[in-house]
Structure 1
Amino acid sequence: MVIADASINIKVLLNATAAHFGFRPTYKRVWLAKQKALAHIYGDWDESYNELPRWELGVQLTMPGSVAVLRTSPVRVGDQVDGSQAYFHRLFWTFPPCIEAFRHCKPLVSIDGTHLYGKYGGMLLVAIAQDGNSNILPIAFALVKGKNAESWSFFLSHLRQHVTPQPGLLVISDRHNEIKATLEAPDGGWLPPATYHIFCIRHVAANSALTFKDKDASRLLVNAAYAKTEVEFDYWFDILRSEDLAMCEWANRIEYSLWTQHRDEGRRFEHMATNISECVNSILKGVRNLPVCSLVKATYGKLAELFVRKGREAEAQLGTGQQFTQHLVKCIEANLKTAMCFTVTLYDRDNSEFTVSETTPTGSFSLGSYRVSLGSQTCDCGYFQTLYYPCPHALACCAYSRLTWQSYVHQVYHLSSVFSVYQMGFTPPIFEEFWPLYDGPTVIPDPTKRHASEGRPRSTRIRTTMDEANPNRSKTCGLCRKPGHTRRSCP
């Protein structure tokens, strides 16, 4: 069962044991048996650390250009340093296809960490990107002892140096003080205008809920953060001020550019949370149960499989003659249906500036007026400059002027860009017997990071309001705040 799924739940193994053998062992016994099974399949937990130096040499031989940075700490016996051994400290690694792929992805990266579940503790830090077809892509990894300033500095410095040297990059993270301090370090290379840092709104809302215990006010805060225009932001923030003045004052102490969409100057591509990192955490859940060297090897195999699958999909779509991604085509089709009820007035032909009046389908009631500039690719609704493809008002202006909307789409949404993301593939790994020999000190695990040998293993995840869900809670409209319907069907 462990061969089939390394992340299999202990309770599943416990029930299977009880059904097969007729007696029910304790949770701890099954947990220990699973660790022995993992060691039997993937190698000894302690010896796995000493395989990392050879893997570092082997992966660089397999794929020249791979980056693997291993750091160790000295082993002290009394006052003396044992030169024959060294504690594993941290490891950063990435591969050439990931480095090349990020050049064709959206100019943003989401960073997060997840706990290891094996015999020894630690954290797996991951940097995630997204292509123009909404596919998520891990681009760098690190094994560290914990989420502290030293670990984040190690990870982010190598990420900046080897993977994301592009200017104008956006970094999305939670409100971890160590991440913030690392990104604001003067010599780290992460300061504006080279890079910009924003907070995940889900974590901001969770932090507010811990203090104010008002879920309705937290939802209003999220609605204000998602607002694409200042008018819409003020609308939601005024409601929040009337509902919970203390939360409003708390939110005002956080710089608006860090958590609101209307102040981000179009850098987010509508990414308000670290959801893409959470998705990768779930994908890597089985890997986190493995000995460290098997974990590192598994990232190579999983990425190779991902590049093959997504590359074939992009190639198949290119073969049909499509120019843009399926994600963009669906959005444009939806916007075209909306654009049927607009009245366009041209004001400046040279600069392609228009006014678009939106009415009901019968034309009896006006729903508002918007200024659109095709030259500067902006609209008063905020969608054009935020999403980097034409909103319904811009599409109406293109139809009025007999212009093609394709020229107003960001390059990242072109299928050729998505194909370029996965164009560079992984090479088959060289058999371990042919890896270069390692003649340094024996790398051993830090005994202080071993999980408790007695008692039931406890989860190290800090649970917040994001982990809570009430399945019986009725739907509440995002516009009128009344239960029983959503904003799509709001009367």
Structure 2
Amino acid sequence: MVRADASVNVNVLQNATAAHFGFRPTYRRVWMAKQKAVAIIYGDWDESYNELPRWVLGIQLTMPGSVAVLRTCPVRVGGQLDESQAYFHRLFWTFPPCIEAFRHCKPLVSIDETHLYGKYGGTLLVAIAQDGNSNILPVAFALVEGENAESWSFFMSHLRQHVTPQPANFALTFKGKDARRLLVNAAYAKTEVEFDYWFDILHSENPAMCEWANRIEYSLWMQYCDDGRRFGHMTTNISECVNTILKGVRNLPVCSLVKATYGRLAELFVRKGREAQAQLGTGQQFSQYLVKCIEANLKMARCFTVTVYDRDNSEYTVAETTPAGSFSLGSYRVSLGSHTCDCGYFQALHFPCPHALACCAYSRVTWQPYVHPVYRLSYVFSVYQMGFTPPIPEGFWPPYDGPTVIPDPSMRRPREGRPRSTRIRTNMDETDPNRPKRCGLCRQPGHTRRSCP
């Protein structure tokens, strides 16, 4: 079962053992048996660390331009430095296809971490990008001792140096779910009017949170002030999807984990490249994601009345009315020349909103020139155009003559009892005991969704 899926749950193994042998071993015994099975299949846990220096040399020979930065710590025995050995500390790596792919993706990086589940602890850091068809792909990795300022700095500095100069996202944590929801609504607002509406409500409920938010530069957390740099993304949720690509690798010895990223990415690039090539063969110009968005916006644009104010500079006003045309729902200023609209969607998402599409139809011009190149199929195809080369067999890797790399004993998981969770709890994981439970539909206290009046 472990050979078929290294991420198989220990509870599943417990049930299988009970069904096959007629007795149910403890969770700890099954966990330890799984680690031994992984070691038999994928190599010894301790020896795996010493394979990393040769892998660094081998991958740079396989694909010139690959970046692999290995950091070690000195070993001291009886107060004396042991130069024949070194503790593994950190490893950053990325591959040329990933670096090239990011140049054709949205200029946005989402970062996430996942804890290792093997004999030794540690944390896998991953940087994720997204192409114009909403496909995600990892672009850089790091193995570190855990989440701290030094390990994140190690990862982000190499990510900036080798993959992208873009800064990282940050998370907001503040007690009080209702107040946080108001702050999120204000951050997602695409216009100043919408932002002021939500921020005023927040200020009346939680002035301290408003004061805290005002200390941060608006362009760093408000969508309407970011000049479209985020392409509409305000969270790092796309990072969670990468688990399907790297499923099971955090259960493997470190060298097998690192090797698995190369193979999984090679498969991903081939599959997504074929999909993009097939779509190009049909004569389509834009990604399926964009086509769906434009179709939905075109349906909405039929109820708009357009007035031209400056034909040379493509300046318009668009009046939105009810389907029956009985009364107006508001008006918006649209500038096709500067790719802006008062609704905020045109500049945030980098393709025409319903109001801009109505202006294009009124002026008898096509909407295609107003779409960012990242949504073009040719751009999506370029993401996966550079493929991976077959890995050189380990017997042909260059020799390594440095100190033996060994695991840090402090990272060894405890031998007794059930493995403790390594999840770092934050304020968002804590519940306020004085906060009344609210209905999931009307958000009022005193009842649940089932009994909501």
Aligned-pair CA distance for 1:99: 0.8
Match of 1:17 in 2: 17
Contact residue 132 and residue 325 of structure 1 kept, 8 A: yes
- In 2, Cα distance between the equivalents of 1:250 and 1:97? 41
Aligned AA (2:296):
A
Q: How does 1:89-128 map to 2 (within 5 A)?
A: 89-128=89-128
SS at match of 1:277: helix
Counterpart check, 1:305 vs 2:271: no
SS at match of 1:84: strand
Match of 1:415 in 2: 377
Match of 1:273 in 2: 235
Aligned AA (1:76):
R
Match of 1:182 in 2: none
Q: Measured at CA, do residues 451 and 303 of structure 1 come closer, stay the same or move farther in structure 2, by a change above 3 Å?
A: same
- In 1, Cα distance between the equivalents of 2:247 and 2:273? 24
Match of 1:59 in 2: 59
Contact residue 123 and residue 143 of structure 1 kept, 8 A: yes
- In 2, Cα distance between the equivalents of 1:246 and 1:328? 40
Aligned-pair CA distance for 1:468: 9.2
- In 2, Cα distance between the equivalents of 1:463 and 1:132? 34
Contact residue 110 and residue 127 of structure 1 kept, 8 A: yes
- In 2, Cα distance between the equivalents of 1:434 and 1:232? 62
Q: How does 1:342-361 map to 2 (within 5 A)?
A: 342-361=304-323
Match of 1:227 in 2: 189
Contact residue 114 and residue 281 of structure 1 kept, 8 A: no
Aligned AA (1:35):
Q
SS at match of 1:262: helix
Contact residue 286 and residue 375 of structure 2 kept, 8 A: yes
- In 2, Cα distance between the equivalents of 1:226 and 1:286? 34
Aligned AA (2:163):
V
Match of 1:208 in 2: 174
For 1:457-479, what per-residue CA distance to the aligned partner results, in whole angstroms no more than 9, with x for missing partners?
A: 0111124576699xx953459xx
Aligned AA (2:210):
C
Aligned AA (1:122):
G
Aligned-pair CA distance for 1:282: 5.4
Q: What's the % identity of the aligned pairs?
A: 82
Unaligned runs of 5+ in 2: 432-437
SS at match of 2:224: coil
Aligned AA (1:372):
V
Aligned-pair CA distance for 1:235: 1.1
SS at match of 1:76: strand
Q: Residue 239 of structure 1: which of 194, 201, 214 is its match?
A: 201
TM-score under structure 1 length normalisation:
0.86
Aligned-pair CA distance for 1:331: 0.3
Aligned AA (2:151):
S
Match of 1:147 in 2: 147
Contact residue 172 and residue 273 of structure 1 kept, 8 A: no
Aligned AA (1:114):
T
Contact residue 86 and residue 406 of structure 2 kept, 8 A: yes
- In 2, Cα distance between the equivalents of 1:462 and 1:80? 35
Q: Measured at CA, do residues 55 and 473 of structure 1 come closer, stay the same or move farther in structure 2, by a change above 3 Å?
A: farther
Counterpart check, 1:35 vs 2:35: yes
- In 2, Cα distance between the equivalents of 1:446 and 1:476? 52
Aligned AA (1:142):
A
Q: How does 1:48-447 map to 2 (within 5 A)?
A: 48-165=48-165, 169=166, 171-173=167-169, 199=170, 203-204=171-172, 207-209=173-175, 213=176, 215-281=177-243, 283-447=245-409
SS at match of 1:208: coil
SS at match of 1:51: helix
Aligned AA (2:84):
S
Aligned AA (2:390):
P
TM-score under structure 2 length normalisation:
0.93
Unaligned runs of 5+ in 1: 174-198, 478-482, 485-491
SS at match of 1:14: helix
Number of corresponding residues: 440
Residues 156-165 or 392-401, more deviating = 156-165
SS at match of 1:234: helix
Contact residue 174 and residue 427 of structure 2 kept, 8 A: no
Aligned AA (1:217):
A
